[in-house]
A = this chain, B = another copy of it.
């Protein structure tokens, strides 16, 4: 499964900055950061469930917004990118 995680964490308070770092750290353990608050993740269904559980434990449900997009396999291999930034390789066999 290809997963995209995007988030807006409210950083108007010091606690918000802590939550932001925690969310980023959790996502870094599962996939590749492609923009400040956007992670691309190739994972299994149990890994997705675990990821969502971990994130739900660290956010403030009233302030922070996390969106998790479940996409068919290989969607992340065909992303259109304009401008600067990373072009991650998610599957080793796709290295040309």
Contact = CB atoms under 8 A, between A and B. Distances in A.
Given A8-B35, A35-B7, A35-B65, A82 B56 contact: yes
A52 B80 contact: yes
Give the most central of A35, A62, A82: most B CB within 10 Å. Answer: A82
Nearest to A35: B8
Interface string A34-67: 1111100000000000001001100111111111
| Copies of the protein in its oligomer | 2
Contact of A66 (B7, B37, B81): B81
B37 A65 contact: no
Given A36-B8, A61-B84, A67 B55 contact: no
Contact of A6 (B38, B52, B62, B84): B38
A69 B72 contact: no
Contacts of A14: none
Contacts of A80: 52, 67-68, 70
